[in-house]
Structure 1
Amino acid sequence: MMDYTQGKKKLEDWVVSEMEYSPDSLGKCEAIMSLGNGYMGLRSGTEEPYIDETRNMFVSGTFNKAFENEATELPNLADITRIDVRVDGERFSLEFGKTNNYMRQLNLKTAELTRSFDWVSPLGKDLRFVFKRFVSLHNLHLIGMKMEVECLTAPVQFSFESGIDAQMNNSGTQHFLEGERRIFDKQFIQLVQTTNESEIDVVINTSHKVILNDQPIEQDPNMKMNRRKVWQSYEVELEPNDKLAVEKLTTLYTSRDKPVDNAAYSLDELREQSLQALKNSVKEGYDLLFKEHQKEWDDKVWNVYDFEIDSEDGFDQLAIRFSLYHLICMTPAHDDRMGIAAKGLSGEGYKGHSFWDTELFILPFFIYSNPEIARSLLIYRYRGLVGARKKAMENGYEGSMYPWEMAWPTDGEVTPIWGDIDVVTGTQTKIWPGFIEQHISADIAFAVYQYHNVTNDYKFLEDYGYEIVFDTARFWASRLEWNDEKKEYHINGVIGPDEYKEHIDNNAFTNYMAYFNIKLAIHYYEKLVKENPELLGKLEELLQFKNAFADWTQKVKEIYLPAPRAKDLIIPQDDTYLQLKKMDLSKYKNQDRVRTIYNDYNAEQINAIQVSKQADTLILLYLLEQTFLHGDPRLTGKVKEANFRYYESKTLHDSSLSLTTHAILASDIGEKELAYSLFKKSTEIDLGPKMNTSDMGIHAASIGGIWKTAVFGFAGIRLVDGKLKVNPALPNHWNRLNFTIQWQGQPVRFSITQSKLSVEVIDRKTLIFENDGKLYTCEDTINISIVAANSES
């Protein structure tokens, strides 16, 4: 049972709590309470083992392909969290004896996981347990654990085994060759494992410090070694009121780490370096290391991303903090060779691959809050041009065709080919997005545009952005198909964002985004002709596109762009969607879990029904209004509202990406209650009462979308072709919303109530923004009456 009200006083709305142990729903807390620092992620399994547990530890960028017929994935590293405890010789488990006062908590503010309970053994012995754990943000290579045991009534023979267990796998697949294992000075355990295909070395070191009644015990542990495993065991006699503390510190380094990923790399040096790092940490101890970690969270996260909601429901504030917490945990801010996985670093779902989730649902937070990290994530896509060009060439196209799923930048397309069962035929279904879901190339071009307009980072454009936009435009120009009958270019045989519609022609999202991508390339080309012909010459030589500009300008005029129907302003999602069979979708709209439609229909049958998995045409309208196309008569506010009302009723939200887009648009069209309802549902994808929604890991895009809904939806912040618009529409029970964004080189602080918008420019640089159709110039602080402004419209 989850509880979000356990944080008291200064920790109010900071704590995610589990109030009782349930062996049938372990995955929920393992995922949502996972720990991480962007370099590595640690799923929050319990110390003692259970049958249905999933123990995961991942390091960003360590991709490996276990076998030729498997997809590359982040390998599950050796486990360091398991501690096998025995009480009077019997294995300790919460499935035996009696448990009282159970609580497991993730403190979002300190990024520490704790678990505490009183336990009565089957023999009637009373013990009190407290477990603590953190993954350091101060030292990206460090994990701290602490076990505290208090004997309450009768003497107990207490023993435990702990070490490094490399007998782990990814859903049955083993990725590692066995490496050397060793214990130094009867204290420091070291294990080396090497990925079998990518040949990445992983060096893990761990150490235990055992303290009885505030005094370190002197006994030497029993040392044991087995295949892919090395560990130690300790035994202590506990008398009533005795208190035992065990500190376990671990360091983790890999040959993919930037400082050692070079020709001079030496495994022996990495082993020595990582072992010395552990020894240094042991001298400091858990408590001091945790204080350093906590200070880093304060200094780099909570004091920077100051986001305050005064709501009648404190859960809203907690949900935003949960969003910010996981955005930090999942993002490899330390290395621009790495992207964000669809499940972050919290589970094996989607194999650690990056999707369009990053650019459209996660990147906006960093663009508006930490442009340096946003830049790093876009450089990752720049490095991916190698794989994108390879995919284009293999498919007979020019330029760069980005992989639907991306891993290491040079890997190219890594989407698995086969997926879940077809309920009609009993066979495996083919995963088509890797072949025909192609809009991601334009999505990345949009992200370049958005980043540059919000940050004014021209250096990024020069070094990376222009090349991405030009080469993706070359792809689209070669991808267009001439329809001689209609005398226009089509894009046939694709999947749009709505993945319940496969092999469709002229998906509106894909066509419009391709159009935008080419128009953006034309705009940048003309800009360089005037402002930097030398750079343009270098890019033309590099990309060999001397004739591309003429090709773009000719083709872009003839791309078919589905227009709103005259009778109802509905933009056809594709050539056939509006002619498909309609049916009562209430059963699936009210489902307890996603994708229940697949219990009744297979993909081919769903393809023939007017039903959508997620936002498609709607996200198009949201994106393009931010660009130089915002004045296009096909993309007006009336068109947005008409399409929202039409498509939302047919959308099952079977993707976690869907709800936040609908929430933002509902807010845009004045549906405040519906907008908040959709926002609340999006927060409950991971934080809700259902205990099986997060088993494969947290939903990274939805978590990014929580922040997006609050800022772009309720606060009404919007980029519109290089200009800032602010049109707040707070939920009725939100009294105030305070936050800061970065806009074109300076922090801007917003404070919004139901009746007033306050804007403060921190660096006192001039800010021009629009509210309700009026332009305002701010050089310090400005207050605007929301009621008065809206009444004039």
Structure 2
Amino acid sequence: MNAWTLVYEGFDPAGEGLREALCTLGNGRFATRGATPDGRPRTPGTYLAGCYDRLDSVVAGRTVTNEDIVNLPDWLPLTFATPGSGWFRPEDADLLRYRHELNLRHGVLTRELRWRDGAGRVTHVRQRRLVSMADCALAALETTFTAENWSGPMRVCCTLEGRVTNCGVARYRDLRGDHLTGHETGADDGLAWLTATTRNAHVMVALATRTDGDAPAARPTLGGDHITSDHVLDLAEGEPARLTKIVALTSSRDPAGHDPRSSALRHVRRAPRFDELLARHASAWECLWRRARLDVDGPELSQLVHLYVFHLLQTLSPHTADLDAGVPARGLHGEAYRGHVFWDELFVEPWLNLRFPEISLGLLRYRWRRLPEARDAAAEAGYEGAMFPWQSGSDGREETQTLHLNPASGRWLPDNSHRQRHVGLAIAYNVWHHYLATGSMPPWCAELMLDIARFFASLAELRDGRYEIRGVMGPDEYHDGYPGSDEPGLANNAYTNIMTVWLMTRARETAVLAPHLAPPAAELALWDDVSRRMRVDFHQGVISQFTGYGDLLELDWDRYRGVRRLDRALEADGDDVNRYQASKQADTLMLCYLLGDEELTGILERLGYTPDPGLISRTISYYLRRTSHGSTLSAVVHAWILARRSRERSWDFFIEALTGDVSDVQGGTTAEGIHLGAMGGTLDLLQSCYLGLELERGGRLRLDPLVPDRLGLVCMPLRYHGRQIFVDADHREARINGTVRRTYTRGEVIMTGTGDFGRRIIHHRERLGLTREQVADKADMSPGYVKYLEENADTPDTGALYRLADALQTTVEDLLGGGQDRPPGRGPAMAHPTLEALDRDECL
């Protein structure tokens, strides 16, 4: 087995959907599924990040509106025929060999086949395909023919196919999928082109193609919604002949995208030939891998890790950072969930923060651009701040469908999942952790954090001395209400309530970092009060998932164990999952995943509860027995929380998470699109959980490794506060590789980062030609404290801040970033060990 290639041997019609999804090629701007260029079955799909369209459909007698990521015209079709035979189709062909190979290092999909026609002529065909990471508008398909026992003409038909719809998910086929209209085709100076426009969003897309190779130029045949060109290759026995299809895809969403057709034609006209295009593309991938490298022992594990990194970067690449696009739950690999953005960024961005922080910042910007819509949604619902939707698409409105189909019963049922308000908590968590990883809190990120805090503070209602949050759903998704109640939603979901407490405390800290956005004192006082008096329920010595959870029935797990979608199975049986203590995925246990035992215990104590030492362990055991793992995210979370409790069980969940899409653990769903959140979460499990990486205030990175024995040596580069470090760890020791190589003890701070505040002190000191001692004397503080402020990411208190600004002949506003996209430091710098030798008066 090669750790850098994914291989499929033979033609398997039943498995084509899964292979197509896992062989998708993309560059963060657009992606094309690994469908064959010819034959059936095939589910072609080309998807442009952020390109959505809305259609009305009549379902169960009701008109419903759905917004989908749009399946764009198919640039792949290419088929061929020997003299006297029909067009090649793999399902009908006499195949002597058939193989797909996905090169993960360089992003190239190769198909090789040997085919014998009815006359006994054997032809070897090799196709190489790429979606360029170097030029994000380009893609290419190279086909090489070798006649093994014959000579003569080979006919080749190339097509740009506009007759496509969104039909990749069976349960959506009662809904309209004809998003494209207004097709036009044409030919221009040897180039062919096709344009189409989405029906309601009015996004124009354009494809232009150039054919290179050993065949004479062919005149295209224009159809209204497709364009074909027929070529003839004169094959000589044993001599390879090539035909290459270079394609450019542009749209009116592009910068300066007022004329996509002209732009596509320019791109394809200027594109190099295939070999140079491939070289540039491979070089771009090599650059990505230098930052994304995550090495583990053994080719099988390595292959799966590389596959996950590969698909993550195909969906979210440096190109994505410049787009207005979020984290689609199923990647750009299929049409499941309609390409919508849920909360999967919660699992993806932590890995990106320490590798490609510019990408994660771009993803946060997607949320910020939709802040006005979130504010309007909150106001319309009677709340303050910003209420983000559970499903987001083009403009940030709630895209959750009102009805969903249960494939097990064939019935359309109400969908209450829009009540998962916790998506806002995920956004806030990502803002904060991007700040911890980079030392950067742009004002617009602070604005996001504060407005989300305002919403949850207004959502909380004071009852009998405790704040309660009612009418919501947690991450579990099975429970959307109480048994027999007509009122949807639950009261006091523990995950929502406790993460709201976490948010209130972080929002108050954010207000210090962004003083020009600081809320009024009364609002800060309210946040503090909510953070101290939130209600949390308990039963049987564990944290209750929501009020009344302990009163629900126990499920007959002997009957239903192994059924991942209990909600569908029970509904098909005439029952209701709301009646039972059963979870689709981690809900309460998400608190252990995001906060860890220590912080979770601290929050409970802050709320006035007295958690005993066994509370969290009992809670984990309790819900683990009652979870069906109906989401691929479930294995990630449980592997994480068991890593320091049950290494064997953690390993089992880790392997399930790592093989989830390759083995299609959810039973056919991967064919509709990869599970991007599970992929990102699995990578972060390796990076942060098993290595014990902890990002702390003050620019400190802590290491507490507990690498599973069977994982062997884990090696990776990380980018922390703008500095590159290299980590090697196994189950015995961990090393930080830089100018000095040494072994670190568990829990030791391995790195501190200089924040922007410290860099600004250095800038002004050097501008004035002052030493640290001179600055310290002018500012009436110790030289040691000035040195600390320069080398770390903290800020002093207000009095010292003003004296420091005077000493450096600048303003406090300038030292704190001037209200621009230059964030301040990390708060009061008093609790660091390097200051223990200083008197407090020396730092004030």
TM normalised by structure 1 equals 0.86
1:441 Cα deviation after fit: 0.9
CA contact (8 A) 2:502 2:531 kept: no
CA contact (8 A) 1:178 1:194 kept: yes
Distance 1:118 1:659, change over 3 A: same
1:516 Cα deviation after fit: 1.6
CA contact (8 A) 1:746 1:761 kept: no
Opposite residue 573 of structure 1, the aligned amino acid is Q
Measure the CA separation in 2 of the matches of 1:248 and 1:41: 17
Deviations 1:744-766 (A, max 9, x none): 3322221112211112356x8x9
1:633 Cα deviation after fit: 5.4
1:57 Cα deviation after fit: 0.3
Who is 1:453 aligned against?
Answer: 436
Distance 1:422 1:739, change over 3 A: closer
CA contact (8 A) 2:39 2:88 kept: no
SS in 1 for 2:331: coil
Who is 1:226 aligned against?
Answer: 223
Who is 2:777 aligned against?
Answer: none
CA contact (8 A) 1:387 1:403 kept: no
Equivalence map 1:622-641=2 (5 Å)? 622-625=593-596, 631-632=602-603, 638-641=614-617
Name the larger-Rg structure: 2
1:366 Cα deviation after fit: 0.9
Measure the CA separation in 2 of the matches of 1:665 and 1:194: 47
SS in 2 for 1:686: coil
Q: Which runs of 5+ in 2 are unaligned?
A: 58-63, 168-175, 481-488, 606-610, 754-844
Structure 1 residue 683 corresponds to structure 2 residue 658: yes
1:457 Cα deviation after fit: 0.7
SS in 2 for 1:377: helix
Measure the CA separation in 2 of the matches of 1:773 and 1:36: 39
Measure the CA separation in 2 of the matches of 1:637 and 1:297: 48
SS in 2 for 1:381: helix
Measure the CA separation in 2 of the matches of 1:291 and 1:775: 42
1:501 Cα deviation after fit: 1.1
Distance 1:239 1:586, change over 3 A: farther
1:547 Cα deviation after fit: 4.5
Deviations 1:509-558 (A, max 9, x none): 01111222222222333x25xxx64x13xx65xxxx67532432334333
Q: Alignment partner for residue 724 of structure 1, among 689, 701, 705?
A: 701
Distance 1:555 1:675, change over 3 A: closer
1:688 Cα deviation after fit: 1.9
SS in 2 for 1:751: strand
Distance 1:468 1:24, change over 3 A: same
Opposite residue 333 of structure 1, the aligned amino acid is T
Distance 1:454 1:611, change over 3 A: same
Measure the CA separation in 1 of the matches of 2:571 and 2:353: 41
Who is 2:811 aligned against?
Answer: none
Opposite residue 605 of structure 1, the aligned amino acid is D
Opposite residue 477 of structure 1, the aligned amino acid is A
Distance 1:513 1:777, change over 3 A: closer
Equivalence map 1:38-437=2 (5 Å)? 38-50=28-40, 52-67=41-56, 69-87=64-82, 88-155=84-151, 157-171=153-167, 173-185=177-189, 187-211=190-214, 217-218=215-216, 220-260=217-257, 265=258, 267=259, 270-281=260-271, 284-299=272-287, 301-311=288-298, 314-331=299-316, 333-358=320-345, 360-408=346-394, 410-421=395-406, 427-434=411-418, 436-437=419-420
1:325 Cα deviation after fit: 0.6
CA contact (8 A) 2:536 2:544 kept: no
Equivalence map 1:16-27=2 (5 Å)? 16-27=6-17
Deviations 1:621-656 (A, max 9, x none): 221239966634568874433222221121111111
CA contact (8 A) 1:25 1:692 kept: no
Measure the CA separation in 2 of the matches of 1:612 and 1:272: 53
1:129 Cα deviation after fit: 1.1
Measure the CA separation in 2 of the matches of 1:627 and 1:696: 39
TM normalised by structure 2 equals 0.81
1:352 Cα deviation after fit: 1.4
Deviates more, 1:77-86 or 1:578-587: 578-587
Opposite residue 42 of structure 1, the aligned amino acid is T
Measure the CA separation in 1 of the matches of 2:724 and 2:479: 42
Measure the CA separation in 2 of the matches of 1:514 and 1:96: 59
Opposite residue 499 of structure 1, the aligned amino acid is E
Measure the CA separation in 2 of the matches of 1:573 and 1:443: 18
Distance 1:480 1:556, change over 3 A: same
Opposite residue 209 of structure 2, the aligned amino acid is T
Deviations 1:660-707 (A, max 9, x none): 1111111132x2221111111112211127683411011101110220
Measure the CA separation in 1 of the matches of 2:532 and 2:378: 23
1:778 Cα deviation after fit: 8.6
Measure the CA separation in 1 of the matches of 2:711 and 2:737: 21
Who is 1:578 aligned against?
Answer: 550
Measure the CA separation in 1 of the matches of 2:663 and 2:139: 28
SS in 2 for 1:231: strand
CA contact (8 A) 2:27 2:313 kept: yes
Opposite residue 197 of structure 1, the aligned amino acid is N
Deviates more, 1:613-622 or 1:81-90: 81-90
Measure the CA separation in 1 of the matches of 2:152 and 2:54: 48
Measure the CA separation in 2 of the matches of 1:657 and 1:575: 24
Structure 1 residue 482 corresponds to structure 2 residue 462: yes
CA contact (8 A) 2:734 2:744 kept: no
Measure the CA separation in 2 of the matches of 1:234 and 1:315: 42
Measure the CA separation in 2 of the matches of 1:228 and 1:197: 18
CA contact (8 A) 1:725 1:771 kept: no
1:85 Cα deviation after fit: 2.2
Who is 2:626 aligned against?
Answer: 650
CA contact (8 A) 1:103 1:115 kept: yes
Measure the CA separation in 2 of the matches of 1:191 and 1:95: 29
Q: Which runs of 5+ in 1 are unaligned?
A: 8-12, 212-216, 780-793
Deviates more, 1:498-507 or 1:120-129: 120-129
SS in 1 for 2:328: coil
Measure the CA separation in 2 of the matches of 1:82 and 1:626: 54
CA contact (8 A) 2:491 2:546 kept: yes
Measure the CA separation in 2 of the matches of 1:604 and 1:387: 38
Who is 1:783 aligned against?
Answer: none
Opposite residue 624 of structure 1, the aligned amino acid is L
1:337 Cα deviation after fit: 1.8
Measure the CA separation in 1 of the matches of 2:656 and 2:142: 36
CA contact (8 A) 1:149 1:243 kept: yes
Who is 2:685 aligned against?
Answer: 709
Measure the CA separation in 2 of the matches of 1:711 and 1:613: 26
1:242 Cα deviation after fit: 3.9
SS in 1 for 2:618: helix
CA contact (8 A) 2:30 2:49 kept: yes
CA contact (8 A) 1:760 1:778 kept: no
Opposite residue 725 of structure 2, the aligned amino acid is V
Who is 1:786 aligned against?
Answer: none
Structure 1 residue 595 corresponds to structure 2 residue 570: no
Distance 1:81 1:596, change over 3 A: farther
Distance 1:697 1:397, change over 3 A: same
CA contact (8 A) 1:406 1:414 kept: yes
SS in 2 for 1:309: coil
Distance 1:642 1:258, change over 3 A: farther
CA contact (8 A) 2:52 2:201 kept: yes
Who is 1:666 aligned against?
Answer: 642
Structure 1 residue 35 corresponds to structure 2 residue 22: no
1:91 Cα deviation after fit: 2.3
Measure the CA separation in 1 of the matches of 2:567 and 2:748: 47
Instruction: Figure out how many residues of one structure are paired with residues of the other and give that number.
Output: 720
Opposite residue 72 of structure 1, the aligned amino acid is E
Q: Alignment partner for residue 698 of structure 1, among 674, 679, 698?
A: 674
